Amino acid sequence: GDGDGDGDGDGDGDGDADCNMGGGGNGDVDYSYLWVANTAQGSISKIDTQSMTELARYYSDPNPAAASPSRTSVNIDGRYAAVSNRGTGTVSMYASQVEDCIDKNNDGMITTSPDKDTLVPYDQEECRIWTTTVNPPIAEYVGGPRGTTFDPGIFNQGTCEYDAQKLWVGWHTSNGIAYMGRIDINSGVQDATVQIDGWPASHAPYGAAMDGDGNVWFTGVFQDDLWRVNSKTLELSHWNSGMGHTPYGMTVDFNGLPWFGGYCGPISYFDPQLQTFHLIPDTNSCHRGIAVDLNYQVWVASNANGGAGCGLIQVDGNTKTWVKNHYFPQCGTPVGVSIDIEGKVWIVDYDGWAWRLDPETELAEQLPIAGVHYTYSDMTGGALKAVFVPE
């Protein structure tokens, strides 16, 4: 991808007119959703990003009161979303389209949440495809699954679909040993596990994102460490910056560079070819989530206790320089940042709402979302679509 802003990350289409990716790969836009974890309720909300409407809510675990869902991730064609439950050590996947839901009780219809106020009981929700408990089991809440990212697998030109899709998730069993587990999205079976010895962080792998070469990148919170797993060979690599950049949120851009929002530190990135870390000047703040759009603008949530105050920081990925700080009429604790199919920036506030910012006009629109939302990751699938485009 080259970030030319036409929505597909690769310039003027790819010459394959037969494959129109629903959900906004390289063809017609059929749907675009933001998936927000409702942390206290133990549920996940499905939000139409174009109409700014919360369409439905689904319980994330059989024990929603204990689940504490946080990281959400969307697959390459937008058909599925996953959420990891920190408190119970489970991961659940949902279908965004009713035709992908499963008539589990064979009554000839799909039983599913009809709106944001009506949740179907966990075991009756037929748009919940599966729930998997990570193995080996987590060590308490701090070890619960956090970093979560889909692997699109292989694009099949014959079917115009992605085959062998996986979901990667990170957790730990005790301080000192962490895991990145790979789950087959069709079966929900954990089919590979990478053990990380000498895990330095109190919490589980905190953020995770794929690059276009099929590597999974992940971080430990407040640590200067970065890891990479080759999704094909399962080879593990590790770097430490020693620069005190204290990553909190992370993402990978369409050039393969991991970016980090430092918690009470700078915005930074890693150059995999040079194997060097770089800090962005004038960006010290208390950052949370981070996302990169197709115009190579980097958007980072900033909390009130940081130098930039409560809002959204914009960095130019081309020049690697600070652009400006964006502020909103209401700002509590912004956490998650994600880019939708139209290139608009979503910032989800812990305190019960989201803002949608149009980068061109700087128009900000607010959507109330009931409950508290300690949620971030690739909540729209925009990051994955930016790095993986069918050739």
Amino acid identity of residue 388, one-letter, is: F
Is 22 part of any domain?
A: no
The answer to whether the CB of 258 falls within 8 A of the CB of 252 is yes
CATH code of 129's domain = 2.130.10.10
Identify the residue whose tokens are 């004038």: 282
The total number of structural domains in the chain stands at 1
pTM above 0.95, yes or no: no
The answer to whether the CB of 56 falls within 8 A of the CB of 113 is yes
Burial of residue 225 (number of CB atoms within 10 Å: 0-12, 13-18, 19+) = buried
* pLDDT per residue rounded down to tens, the chain (391 residues): 333 333 333 333 333 445 755 444 443 447 899 999 999 999 999 999 999 999 999 999 999 999 999 999 999 999 999 999 999 999 999 999 999 999 999 999 999 999 999 999 999 999 999 999 999 999 899 999 999 999 999 999 999 999 999 999 999 998 789 999 999 999 999 999 999 999 999 999 999 999 999 999 999 999 999 999 999 999 999 999 999 999 999 999 999 999 999 999 999 999 999 999 999 999 999 999 999 999 999 999 999 999 999 999 999 999 999 999 999 999 999 999 999 999 999 999 999 999 999 999 999 999 999 999 999 899 999 999 999 865 4
Is 312 part of any domain?
A: yes
Burial call 270-292: b when 16+ CB within 10 Å, e when fewer: bebeeeebbbbeebbbbbbbbbb
Is 87 part of any domain?
A: yes
The answer to whether the CB of 359 falls within 8 A of the CB of 297 is yes
Is 26 part of any domain?
A: no
Is 2 part of any domain?
A: no
Query: For residue 364, what are the domain limits?
Result: 33-387
Query: Which residues, including other chains, have CB under 8 Å from residue 106's CB and lie 6 or more apart?
Result: none
* Parallel, antiparallel or unpaired: strands 364-368 and 161-163: unpaired
What are the structure tokens assigned to 384, written together?
Answer: 């994955």
Is 249 part of any domain?
A: yes
Is 3 part of any domain?
A: no
Which among 263, 214, 271 has a CA at the least distance from the CA of 241?
271
Is 176 part of any domain?
A: yes
